[in-house]
Amino acid sequence: MYHSRIDYDESMRIHDTWFSGRRVDVDISDGRIQSISPATSAPSDAAMSGGMVCPHFAEPHVHLDATQLGARLPNRSGTLFEGIDNWATLRSSVNAEDVRERALKTVGWYLRQGTSRIRTHVDTASRTAAEALIALREELKDPSVLGMPVELEVVAFPQEGILTDPQREADWRAVVELGCDAVGCIPHYETSHDAGDATVRMCFDLAEAHGLKVDLHCDETDDPAWRALLAVCAEAERRGMTGQVVAGHCTAMHSWPDDLAERACARVAETGVQVVTNPLDNIVLQGRADRYPKRRGLTRVDELWAAGAMVGIGHDSVVDPWYRLGTANMLDPAYMLVHAGHLTGEAEMTRVFATLHRENHHPFGSPPAIAAGEPATFLWFAASDPIEALRTRLPPRVFYRGQELQS
Ligand code: FE2
């Protein structure tokens, strides 16, 4: 975990490096980028040479309340339902320090691999976990904790639904009151489609009442009858919440009729809803009951792109009850997406990589810029371009205001 930084005393140059499709020299001093110029061929006394530079990554969807619990109560079947049951058992025994330690460990993994903005969901059935993650959000603003500030956002997520039990609705509302950044719900976990759509409206109502954003688990099922995404688009449009709404997973769309999916992708684009796909979990949790062929269970990234919709890529689980694997390396879900989503075209792989440092920041605000005058906060990969970075998935060197973070 980071606790120190290497200080490049005066200035440094990164020579002949890939940046946004060009070969450039990047000159840095006083913690800022002084210039980005076409790469020179002359010998250089550069601190670094070659490789590639890009902004820090962002993680739009993970569950830090449950992280690092995968071995504490193993998911013997590897299914979504045993994962939910195991989490329901484990969450009653966690205390604040346990949540903090596990979450901090995973955030350290993220940062070491280039991710400094993280949006976590927290199960609203555990007030303890919610309080611990909100406290950690504040703690991580202090750069001395991990070597640079980490921007954490907390989403109030009712894992087992809202209308399924009066206590669940009460817990959900109470956790939002604690000071979350966004409100979530899980329509396909409700008892009917009408109830699911009702919770979408409740979710937007609660978010609006508190001036918060919306981020829901949307249609994370193989059942093509679930279409809460359409209700989400309608509410986002009606309330003018363009750019403030994230619909996570959206896996039912995988099994929708093509004409319905085409209409939905267009609605997602025109209402400014962002879809976040979680390829690691959904490639193994969806299609699980299928014989052959087994559905991939990912949302339609290529068709969302074609419609002009914004897509993010989440890791979702890092060693938790749903997915025992997980590294907090955002290149891993990206790598899974290019495979399972048939996105191995050159432009597609490049776009998947760029999503990690561009669209993935959207839930938090603007993506960070790499330009003259900006703080020298960036990643440097030894890989020669984004496709090589995806192929190797090796961690970058992480820079923050001209200083390199060190473990
Ligand atoms: Fe999730």
Structure tokens at 63: 């569950």
Ligand 1 midpoint to CA 403 (Å): 34
Confidence (pLDDT) at 226: 98
Annotate 97-154 with DSSP letters as a single string: HHHHHHHHHHHHHHHHTTEEEEEEEEETT-HHHHHHHHHHHHHTTSHHHHSS--EEEE
Closest by CA position to 310, among listed 271, 252, 263, 344: 271
What residues have a C-beta under 5 A from ligand 1, the ion? 316
Q: Please answer whether residues 360 and 45 qualify as being in contact, where contact means their C-beta atoms are separated by less than 8 angstroms.
A: no
Ligand 1 midpoint to CA 299 (Å): 14
Q: Span 66-84, mean pLDDT?
A: 93
Which residue numbers are catalytic?
Answer: 220
**Band (358; pLDDT cuts 50, 70, 90):** very high
Ligand 1 midpoint to CA 36 (Å): 39
Ligand 1 midpoint to CA 238 (Å): 26
How do residues 180-194 score in pLDDT, each as one tens digit? 999 999 999 999 999
How do residues 111-137 score in pLDDT, each as one tens digit? 999 999 999 999 999 999 999 999 999
Ligand 1 midpoint to CA 145 (Å): 26
Closest by CA position to 165, among listed 186, 190, 129, 130: 190
Confidence (pLDDT) at 47: 78
Is 81 in a helix, a strand, or coil? helix
